[in-house]
Each structure stands twice: as C-alpha cells, then as structure tokens.
Amino acid sequence: MIQLIPFNRPCVVGGEEEYMQEAISRGKLSGKGPFGKKCSRWLEDQLGCERAFMTPSCTAALEMAALLTEAGPEGEVIMPSYTFVSTANAFALRGAAIRFVDVDEKTLNIDPEQIKQAITRRTKAIVVVHYAGVACEMDEIMKLAEEHGLWVIEDAAQALTSTYKGRPLGAIGHLSAFSFHETKNYTCGEGGALIINHAPLIERAEMIQEKGTNRAQFSRGMVDKYSWRDLGSSYVISELNTAYLYRQLQNIGQINKDRKKTWKAYAEGLEHVMALNNVEGPHIPDEAEHNAHMFYLKCRNHNERAELMDYLKKNDIVSVPHYVPLHSSHAGKKYGVFAGEDLYTTKDSERLVRLPLYYGMLEEDVRYVVKQIQLFYQV
Ligand SMILES: *Cc1c(COP(=O)(O)O)cnc(C)c1O
C-alpha cells in the first residue's frame, strides 16, 4: 500500500518545541525578544548586510520595501509577470503602476534586456525574483539601476543560502525580502525578513516596522517617549515564531544537504526522460549556486502537463503548477501592464509542473516519483 506523496511537508528539524517553550517560560512573546534578535543577527552575519528586520511574512517585508522606496502614484515599478502576487501587490498598494516584463527562457528569471526596454522617466524601482532559489543576472541589473538611478529590490523569498558569483542572494540589491512560510526551505509557518543593504534606509525602516513610531529609538533609551512619526504598520513577527525559526537556521546545513540530495536524485533520475521527450528541467547558470528549493519539469505543452499531473495523481503523487502570470490576472490587468513581448511567461507557466520536494523526503519516495514519470513517458 503506497502512501500519498504530498507536494510539501513543512520542515521540522527537531528542537523547535524546546525553543518555543523557552520563549514561553521567559514570558516575552511579542517581537524583538532574544530569539528575534538571534534570527536578525544570524541573517546579518550570513549575508553581511547592514540590517535584517524579522517580519510576519515576506509580503510584509515587500510592503516595507515599497514604503521605503516611495514608489507612489507617480511612479512605475518593473518586475516579472511570472511571480507571486505579493511582489506586485506591495507596490500596487502604494499606488505605483506595475510594468510586467518577460522572463529568461532558461531560468524563468527576469530578463535584463526586457528591463532595459521597460524603463521610462517614471520608473522608480526594479523588483527581481530569484525563481526556485536560482540567481537573476544581478551584475547587469545593478548596472542598469545605477545608470538610471533606480532602486533594486530582491524578492529572495525562495533564495536564502543561494549565491550569485559567490555572493549571497539578498545581499546585492538595496533591499531584499525573505520568506519563512511553510512552503519554503526554512520555516516557522508564517514569517519573513526585510534585508537592508543601503544604510540610509535603516532609520525609516525601524519606524515603518513599528507602526510608524519611533519606538525602536525609545527602546534604546534615545528618546523619553515614542510617538507617530511616519507611515507604518504592524511589521514585527512574534517571538514564538522566531524561536521556531532559529532552530532551523542553526540546522540550515543539514536541511540543505537533505534537499540537495533529493534535487540531485530528480536531476539524475530524469535526465534520460527529459532528453528523449523534449522536457526541460531547472537550468542553473555557472555563476549561481542554488538551495534546492524546487524541482520542476517543463512539459512540451499544456496538454502534456495536464496528462502527466493526472497520471501522477492516479499514482498517489501530488504535483503542482505554479504562477498564473500576473499580467493576465484580474488585479494584474487593473494595476499593471505588460511591457514588451510575452514570449515565455505564458507559454512556460502553462507547461511547468513542480515535483514533491521537502526536508526528510524518503529516498524510496523520490525513486518512486522518478519511476512513475518514466512510466508516463514510457522510457
Ligand atoms: C512565497 C513567496 C512570497 C510570499 O511569502 P510570504 O512569506 O508568504 O508572504 C513572495 N514572493 C515569492 C517569490 C514567494 O515565493
């Protein structure tokens, strides 16, 4: 009797409960407690960034980034259409117009050439998404941004511990955002971080995170009462969540090793099937080292994907598609436009399928998934 193989299982390394108990016993559950500070410091050391703010989600971190870059009703923001809604929503909330552009066919990351074409006098920022934890072409993007005086925000939701030319993702743009949602490699259920690589933004970020007040300065004894100073919201994550998360950050090497083993088993096991059937897998450029966030297949077309997913489902394997291109969604049409030509975004989103990949996935289960895909293609 084969048990259902889910698409994801939230990561548990062991020891999370003890840390949460420790936080409860200490009697401080709101944010920025000892575990919150440990997570911030861990990220600051790992990335070599100016500051890491622990937030309730990556969505919250992106909203902070939109407030910090002042992408308002007069401004435009360039980003891929092939991304999660939060990438765009954060900026649409500020009233900015979104200019969606096409992705690179091989990596499904934003294409620097398309960014160049989409820049206007109103452009304020470029938001890049490191899809599947694989780095965008950051040198070209940073150069473009510098030439035009634009902010660069990395939506690094999937990309913690990945690198570009040896540099950690999240440490390259002016700002970046990570996610610790249960579908990500390292998690606390819901959580995120805003990374600041551009020091002048720190002071305002502190206020935005604390409901627009100077509470952070108050906590440090710099002012004798705190008050409303700026726009802001409730962007602090609870101590309980950071207690859970810190345990995973301490064991990040172990998590990576395990995920990479599964990713490699897919890549090797499916190499033959892919080559014989014109099916593509993830492409990892030479300058990028990835964190095994995702293994996907790009079938020849939409129909083949539907048949493959159906076949896998009948054999107790859950596989899932990914983004509906934002420019073709209801809100995407209202808040943005596609700039340039959509050569790959729609086509690839219709043929991509993600395979089960989670911490602790049994080797025999990975082999079983590979086998079923081979049977589907009758190799
Ligand atoms: C998961 C994800 C988000 C949202 O993260 P939350 O922590 O759930 O808010 C944003 N962008 C991308 C690219 C993601 O993969």
- Going from the Cα of 221 to the center of ligand 1, the distance in angstroms, rounded, reads 35
Which residues partner with 79 through β-bridges? 100
Render 239-304 in DSSP notation, one character per residue.
Answer: HHHHHHHHHHHHTHHHHHHHHHHHHHHHHHHTHHHHHHHT-B-----TTEE------EEE-SSHHH
No. of helices (H) and no. of strands (E), the chain: 15, 13
Counting ligand 1 atoms within 8 A of each CB, the residue from 54, 55, 59 with the most, and so the one to mutate, is 59
pLDDT at 1 over 60: no
Homologous superfamily of the 252-376 domain (CATH): Aspartate Aminotransferase, domain 1 (3.90.1150.10)
58 lines ligand 1 (CB under 6 A): yes
Q: Give domain 16-250's CATH number out of 3.10.20.30, 3.40.640.10, 3.50.30.50, 3.40.50.2300.
A: 3.40.640.10
In the chain, % of residues over pLDDT 70: 99
- Going from the Cα of 82 to the center of ligand 1, the distance in angstroms, rounded, reads 13
154 lines ligand 1 (CB under 6 A): no
pLDDT at 228 over 80: yes
pLDDT in tens, 355-377: 999 999 999 999 999 999 999 99
161 lines ligand 1 (CB under 6 A): no
Counting ligand 1 atoms within 8 A of each CB, the residue from 55, 86, 103, 134 with the most, and so the one to mutate, is 86
Its pTM stands at 0.98
Three-class DSSP category at 319: coil
Kind and range of the H or E run holding 69:
none
* Ligand 1 atom closest to residue 190's alpha carbon, by position in its atom list: 7
Structure tokens at 240: 């309980």
- Going from the Cα of 187 to the center of ligand 1, the distance in angstroms, rounded, reads 12
Q: pLDDT band at residue 3, thresholds of 50, 70 and 90?
A: confident
* Ligand 1 atom closest to residue 191's alpha carbon, by position in its atom list: 7
- Domain spans in the chain, listed from the N-terminal domain onward: 16-250, 252-376
pLDDT at 238: 98
Kind and range of the H or E run holding 102:
none
* Ligand 1 atom closest to residue 57's alpha carbon, by position in its atom list: 7
Counting ligand 1 atoms within 8 A of each CB, the residue from 62, 64, 82, 84 with the most, and so the one to mutate, is 84
Q: pLDDT band at residue 61, thresholds of 50, 70 and 90?
A: very high
pLDDT in tens, 165-192: 999 999 999 999 999 999 999 999 999 9
**What's the CA gap between 228 and 344, in Å, rounded?**
46
pLDDT at 213: 97
pLDDT at 12: 98
Give the residue, by CA position, lying nearest to ligand 1 atom 2: 157
